[in-house]
Structure 1
Amino acid sequence: MDSPVSPRPAEPGPRRRDRHGRGMRGPVAPPQVPLSTSRSESFHDLVRDSVDRLERRWPQLAEVDFLVMEVPVALDDTVPLGSSEPADKNAPARIVVYRRPVEIRTKSRDERALLVHEVVVEQVAELLGLAPESVDPRYGQD
């Protein structure tokens, strides 16, 4: 006599509770709360805010590419916080802010915001051939 074959167990549905009887854990903070933004995203926002402040005064900056890179290519013993390259026939002018060197030199978000703005102002001044004080009259006062 053949033994009956037990039916295949049903596939489990989505878990509603964990093994301790508690509900599934959700995100720590909703997406609109600053806790859920990464350090990289937060740094990009600081650069964007600084550029927006300067574009009101210098509309020609709309044609400049502003980039954030993790670290600069080491050419010598100094570590730059930013760099600028003038436009050529194949590419627009670009300004690069290096995230890790700026973060290492600051302790708080406010300090970081001030340093990012200072770096952006210095690089815009170099690109335009002006003094940083003429690019942003509040340069160096914070």
Structure 2
Amino acid sequence: MTQARRPAPVPVPARRRDRHGRGLRGPLLPPYLPAWRTRAEHFDEVVVSAASDLARRLPQVADMQFAVEEVPPSDPAPWEGGVVLGRGFAAEARAGLPARIVVYRRPVTSRAHSEAELGELVRRVVVEQVALLLGRRPEEIDPDLA
């Protein structure tokens, strides 16, 4: 008597849940919707938009770097009262670093109550820091600010 060979086991595909016959689960938000982005990514876009709008008016702004950090460092400068919303750092020619402006996300978003307020506050912070670095008044940088 010859022994029959058993067929090799067939891999079973992973079961996906199909509760109550409603179809397979999919992503809650497709990637092309605005809500797909995180709050931090959205804030970054607001800062980039404010900086690029300013760079169209002033060519000096195009040479500056803009960054976003969550919170300011715990050691504020003596002249900074309260919570800092942004800081400007002058260019360092010896180190080859351009002028830099940092906007702090958490303090700015906690003060804005709507999307429009957030955009306006970010624009105000960016304009004030650019004005400090260029040694001019904010109203000279952005006449709409006044």
Q: Could you tell me the TM-score, scaled by structure 1's length?
A: 0.86
- Note the 1:6-17 alignment, pairs <5 A: 9-15=9-15, 17=16
2:83 to 79, 83, 86: 79
Once residues 12 and 115 of structure 1 are traced to their aligned partners in structure 2, the CA distance between those partners, rounded to angstroms, is: 56
TM-superposed deviation, 1:24: 2.5
TM-superposed deviation, 1:6: 7.2
1:124 equivalent to 2:123? Answer no
TM-superposed deviation, 1:111: 0.7
Once residues 57 and 13 of structure 1 are traced to their aligned partners in structure 2, the CA distance between those partners, rounded to angstroms, is: 59
**C-alpha distance after superposition, 1:87-114 (max 9, x if no partner):** 0121111000000000111111111110
Q: The residue matched to 1:12 in structure 2 has which SS?
A: coil
1:93 maps to what in 2? Answer: 99
Once residues 75 and 34 of structure 1 are traced to their aligned partners in structure 2, the CA distance between those partners, rounded to angstroms, is: 36
1:136 maps to what in 2? Answer: 142
- Note the 1:63-74 alignment, pairs <5 A: 63-74=63-74
Q: The residue matched to 1:95 in structure 2 has which SS?
A: strand
Q: Is the 8 Å Cα contact of residues 18 and 24 (structure 2) preserved in structure 1?
A: no
1:18 maps to what in 2? Answer: 17
Paired amino acid for 2:73: V
Q: The residue matched to 2:103 in structure 1 has which SS?
A: strand
Once residues 19 and 56 of structure 1 are traced to their aligned partners in structure 2, the CA distance between those partners, rounded to angstroms, is: 53
Q: Relative to structure 2, which stretch is displaced further, 5-14 or 44-53?
A: 5-14
Q: Could you tell me the TM-score, scaled by structure 2's length?
A: 0.84
Q: In structure 1, list runs of 5 or more residues that go unmatched.
A: none
Once residues 105 and 117 of structure 1 are traced to their aligned partners in structure 2, the CA distance between those partners, rounded to angstroms, is: 14
Once residues 67 and 6 of structure 1 are traced to their aligned partners in structure 2, the CA distance between those partners, rounded to angstroms, is: 64
